[in-house]
Structure 1
Amino acid sequence: MDSTLLQQTPLQPDPGIGSGRAHTPLGLKVFGVLLIVGGLVSAPSTLVVLFATGKAFVDGSGREYSVLTMVLWAALVIALAFTVVAAVVLGVRLLRGRRRRARLIAEAMAIALVVAFACDLMLYGVNESLWFIGVMALILVAAHVFVDPSLSDERELQRRLRLMETREEMEEGTLGLDKSGAGFIELDFFNLFWIFVIASVAGVVIESIYHVLVVDFGHYEDRAGLLWGPFSPIYGFGALLMTLALNRFHNAPVPVVFLVSALIGGAFEYFVSWFMEYAFGAVAWDYTGTFLNINGRTNFMFMCMWGALGVVWVKLALPALLHTVNLIPWRWRYSITAVCAALMIFNGVMTLVALDCWYSRLAGAAPDNALEQFCAEHFDNQWMEHRFESMSIDPGAAHRSS
């Protein structure tokens, strides 16, 4: 490493080392304030719903609903209550410069927000509260990126050293690897996002080829899962689950990786099928009548395929993926990722909105706001049926509370 760089900037003791404290950048203070304000603003309504849920369980007033609906309702309220408390705690810690456990709190909040989002969508469809959850998630992601010391160095020396290390790692082909040795790759937002994107595209390609060659020879069917682009989010999220679960076991024997991947993939496929049917009355696949199927949502053959994909993913694809991602110019990697992430989020949000509007139209409801009118004009029933060829929606099969 060039010693002149060290001579240009004198070394000074870092107050953050060992104490968990550090000078807090202005941007991180803003995120802290937003988290606190968001938590405090939503606290009263969350408490009201929490008490109402408890009362419904105690006095039996919720008996008109199914047990599953009540469980989802309870999970939603608990997740929101945890998010409110964690947001305030995390915001206070960021303002005070205490970041030692900030990343752990942020990750716990992310899990709670995912649970709240899924439960809310299944119970009520696309509604106003989802936008609040989405805004909280965006604030959390931004704060999480700033909390990560590899992405937000406060001191000029650290920043310049990090850039030199990044350049050296790219030249050596080690950029993105977990340097602690605990796992194969660093589980930061940058790596996870591109894992999602690449796996989403690869999933569409694999499933399209399988359909053309095996399911209906010679007939192409659009297997994409978002409004725009060749993306199948079930494969993207599946790859994320595989990576998170197997990152520390990348050197495990192939049978172990296969078994864990098969179980994770099968469980995830089952959950997605159940979620889509519960929220939208949508059926994108049905394995009823096949060997060892589970309620038609997954079966033995596809669990084995998930297992094989997991082995290929962990043993072969991740190194190739890191090489591909590292082709992004190192000076632009985070800017490009931020722009692409914003576009992907917009694509995902609009897909959920379009699906919800499709569901409403099939249920006989006329568009009653500008967004629903926009979807009716640009993503009508015929357009949606053509885009999501493998999916059918039956509003009577959904189990929404409203």
Structure 2
Amino acid sequence: MQYYISCFFIYAVIGWILEVSFHVISQGKFINRGFLNGPYCPIYGFGALAVVLILGDLGNSNKLYIFFMSAIVASALELITGYILEKIFHKRWWDYRSNKFNLGGYICAEFSLIWGAVCYILYEAIHPMLRKALHLMPIKIIIPINVIMGLIFVVDLIATVITLMGLSEKFKMIEDQSKDIRKMSDEIGQKVADRTFVALDRKKELENSKIGKEFDQRSAEFKEFFDKFGEKRILRAFPNLSEDLEEKWNRIDIIKKKKHK
């Protein structure tokens, strides 16, 4: 048991490093992509253990079989996790709907193949080395490390859940306002939305226009509303959580102004 606990934390840290590295390469800046505050992503820890335990000892089995099984296990975990998070918080933490061959936006063929390749390397190369290294360590050293990491993890989890509860309340408040205003001003809201979508596609023109300055001002107010460190970190890590809400935020303000004219 102690061996698997150690593996969970190690793979969670490795996953966090992979996420950070991917976004540094793709976006050119550091983003703490962890669900929690610490430098670890639990889903990678669970995913790695799932692959290792489900695949078991395949020995000299067909390498292609190992690859596809790895992809299936990793994708199933991503699908289940994404679905549960959306049902709990009523927001998508990641969205693959713009990718081809996606399933509900939770998983897609492109990333399933990537997860398959990563898990294949994990199963064939990384885990055997990690297993040997851990077996060389005395259990008297492993247990205290696991206890310390476990305590940090639990405290971090509690703090994150509290932050998410606050976010959820703010999300609900914004969405409730948006629904109430839409019921009274559907026609105006649709026109404003259409213009907003067109304006967003012409960002450069907006920057020097009155509408653009107003949109920037509302965006700044939206960001100020989520001014807690934990909330800002989560919104940066999962930007699609705030994109839809920021759009509603701006739409609410514009509709209110239209109604008072």
TM interval, short-chain normalised = 0.5 to 0.7
Partner residue in 2 for 1:267: 76
**Amino acid in the other structure paired with 2:155:** F
Residue among 287, 300, 306 paired with 2:96: 287
Closer, same or farther: CA 384–331 of 1 in aligned 2, 3 Å: closer
Q: Which structure: greater helix fraction?
A: 2
1:352: Cα distance to partner? 2.3
Residue among 17, 20, 35 paired with 1:225: 35
1:338: Cα distance to partner? 2.5
TM-score by length of 2: 0.65
For residues 139-184 of structure 1, what are the alpha-carbon distances to aligned partners after superposition, in whole Å with 9 as ceiling and x for unaligned? xxxxxxxxxxxxxxxxxxxxxxxxxxxxxxxxxxxxxxxxxxxxxx
1:301: Cα distance to partner? 0.9
Alignment of 1:1-400 (within 5 A): 189-213=1-25, 215-216=26-27, 218-227=28-37, 229-326=38-135, 328-364=137-173, 381-388=227-234, 389-391=236-238, 392=241
Q: Report SS of the residue matched to 1:252.
A: coil
C-alpha RMSD over aligned residues: 2.3
Contact map agreement 2:10 2:45 (CA 8 A) in 1: yes
For residues 113-151 of structure 1, what are the alpha-carbon distances to aligned partners after superposition, in whole Å with 9 as ceiling and x for unaligned? xxxxxxxxxxxxxxxxxxxxxxxxxxxxxxxxxxxxxxx
Q: Report SS of the residue matched to 1:363.
A: helix
1:381: Cα distance to partner? 4.7
Aligned identity (percent) is 26
**Amino acid in the other structure paired with 2:30:** Y
**Amino acid in the other structure paired with 2:29:** H
Q: Report SS of the residue matched to 1:230.
A: coil
Closer, same or farther: CA 191–329 of 1 in aligned 2, 3 Å: closer
Partner residue in 1 for 2:248: none
Q: How many residue pairs were aligned? A: 190
**Amino acid in the other structure paired with 1:285:** W
Contact map agreement 1:358 1:384 (CA 8 A) in 2: no
Larger radius of gyration: 1
Say which structure, 1 or 2, has more relative contact order (CA 8 Å, 6+ apart). Answer: 2
Q: Report SS of the residue matched to 1:289.
A: coil
Q: What is the CA–CA distance in structure 2 between the aligned matches of 1:253 and 1:355, rounded to whole Å?
A: 44
Q: What is the CA–CA distance in structure 2 between the aligned matches of 1:353 and 1:327, rounded to whole Å?
A: 39
**Amino acid in the other structure paired with 1:220:** F
Task: List runs of 5+ in structure 1 lacking aligned partners.
Answer: 1-188, 366-379, 396-402
Q: What is the CA–CA distance in structure 1 between the aligned matches of 2:132 and 2:112, rounded to whole Å?
A: 28
**Amino acid in the other structure paired with 1:221:** I
Contact map agreement 1:292 1:300 (CA 8 A) in 2: yes
Closer, same or farther: CA 236–349 of 1 in aligned 2, 3 Å: same
1:330: Cα distance to partner? 3.9
Closer, same or farther: CA 294–339 of 1 in aligned 2, 3 Å: same
Closer, same or farther: CA 297–191 of 1 in aligned 2, 3 Å: same
1:329: Cα distance to partner? 4.3
For residues 309-348 of structure 1, what are the alpha-carbon distances to aligned partners after superposition, in whole Å with 9 as ceiling and x for unaligned? 1211111111222244346444332233223223223322
Contact map agreement 2:164 2:231 (CA 8 A) in 1: no
TM-score by length of 1: 0.44
Contact map agreement 1:224 1:387 (CA 8 A) in 2: no
Q: Report SS of the residue matched to 1:282.
A: coil
Q: Report SS of the residue matched to 2:35.
A: coil
Task: List runs of 5+ in structure 2 lacking aligned partners.
Answer: 175-225, 246-261
Q: Report SS of the residue matched to 1:248.
A: coil
